[in-house]
Amino acid sequence: MIRVALIIAASLYAAAGGAAERVVALAPHLAELSCAVGGCNKLVGVANYTDFPAHLEKLPHVGDAFSVNVEALIGLKPDLVLVWDGGTPPETTERLAVLGLRVVPIKVNKLADVATALERVGQLLGTADAGRAAAAAYRKRLAGLYERYRGVKPLRVMYQIEANPAFTINGQSPISEAMAVCGGVNVFAGLSQLAAPVTKESVLAANPDVVIYGEQDMGAEIRHYWAAFPQAKAQKNKNIYSMDASLLGRYSQRMLDGVEQLCSALQTARSKP
């Protein structure tokens, strides 16, 4: 009950505040969203692994959602702390709110949420017009992707994170949603965990048409893994592709760059006899 009250209080406080001038973003995608609505110059601190736009790497890093350097954060004197609703643990949000910081959770859990988040961040940073424009452009681009790939031949897809053991994602992942935009079907959508190891037996039983992996430096390991299964569809038809994991792994405008990259790979697979 106390936890709920604190979060509500923090939200009310945030709603009452004016346009923020000193912002700390506690997730890389929140920093990207801030920049997308013209608020890059208002960022005074960011989370670890924030690397886009590149100049944000020079800003003070205050940890991440699970391990925040509160002393460093307070020292930046922010008038707004953006946290990821659904990603930042509630106890982190509570702790910051109790300290009197203006904390606002931004909900982004699927592709369509990015547009709403752009509008919300724009309001908070006093760049509402830029936020609405960015959101409209994002919605138009996403709708165009759905339209472009509507009716394409469905392909069964596995997104592989590791090789030994093989890790993959379930249907709740944004990558699985991206597959659907491109006419792909996640062969491991039914897994109970967002990301989980899968046995070689289950991979062979699923026998995906296409394998996508997200770390280019893992290419040799992934290809070695599949070389052991010459009759598997993806291996037999040479439909194993890499893509930039940072694009689909962050809920920002750049997610659609990742969707296009994924769709392009699936179209290449479809073009083969």
pLDDT digits (tens, 9 = 90+) for 152-186: 999 999 999 999 899 999 999 989 999 999 999 99
Q: Are strands 166-169 and 43-46 parallel, antiparallel or unpaired?
A: unpaired
Query: Considering 145, 172, 201, which residue would you say is the last residue of a domain?
Result: 145
Whether 150 is covered by a domain: the verdict is: no
Question: What integer pLDDT is reported at residue 117 of this predicted model?
Answer: 98
Does the global pTM surpass 0.75? yes
Residues 131 and 241 in one domain: no
What does the pLDDT read at residue 34? 98
Q: How far is CA 136 from the centre of its chain?
A: 19
Q: Are residues 206 and 137 in the same domain?
A: no
For 150, the 3-state DSSP assignment is: coil
C-alpha span between 261 and 256 (Å, rounded): 8
pLDDT of residue 214: 85
**Domain carrying residue 42:** 2-145
Confidence at residue 99, expressed as pLDDT on a 0 to 100 scale: 93
Question: Does a structural domain hold residue 184?
Answer: yes
Is 252 inside a domain boundary? Answer: yes
Instruction: Tell me, yes or no, whether 28 and 116 share the same domain.
Output: yes
pLDDT at 17: 61
Q: Are the CB atoms for 158 and 200 separated by under 8 Å?
A: no
Query: How many structural domains are present in the chain?
Result: 2
Residues 92 and 224 in one domain: no
pLDDT tens across 229-249, in order? 999 999 999 999 999 988 988
Interacting residues of 208 by C-beta distance below 8 A, sequence separation 6+: 156, 157, 158, 187, 233, 234
Q: What is the maximal distance between C-alpha atoms in the chain? A: 62
For residues 40 and 42, give the distance between their C-alpha atoms in angstroms, rounded to a whole number. Answer: 5
Do 13 and 130 fall within a single domain? yes
Domain termination site, one of 97, 117, 145: 145
> Residues 94, 28: one domain?
yes
Give 152: exposed, middle or buried? Use CB within 10 Å, 0-12, 13-18, 19+.
Answer: middle
Residue 30 lies in a domain: yes
pLDDT at residue 107, rounded to an integer: 93
Residues 12, 138, single domain; the answer is: yes
Final residue before a domain boundary, out of 114, 145, 176: 145
Residue 238, phi-psi category: left (phi > 0), alpha (psi -120 to 50), beta (remainder): left
- Can you give the pLDDT at residue 86? 82
Whether 101 maps to a domain, the answer reads yes
Give pLDDT, residue 12.
46
| 134 and 266 assigned to the same domain | no
Sites in the chain below the pLDDT cut of 50 = 1-16
Q: pLDDT at position 218, please?
A: 80
The reply to whether 179 and 124 lie within a common domain is no
Report d(CA 215, CA 141) in Å as an integer: 26
Same domain, 62 and 95: yes
| Lookup: tokens for 124 | 């908070």
CATH number for position 225: 3.40.50.1980
243 lies in the same domain as 121: no
Whether the CB-CB separation of 23 and 42 falls below 8 Å is answered with yes
Q: How many CA atoms lie within 13 A of 210 on its CB side?
A: 28
If asked whether residues 176 and 136 sit together in one domain, one would say no
Residue 263 located in a structural domain: yes
Inter-residue contact 122 to 129 (CB < 8 Å): yes
Q: In terms of Cα–Cα distance, which of 150, 142, 104 is closest to 253?
A: 142
pLDDT tens track for 189-198? 999 998 999 9
- Total Cβ atoms within 10 A of residue 236: 11
Q: Which residue in 110, 137, 108 sits closest to 121, CA to CA?
A: 108
pLDDT of residue 18: 80
Give the Cα-Cα-Cα angle 116, 190, 154 (nearest 5 degrees).
75
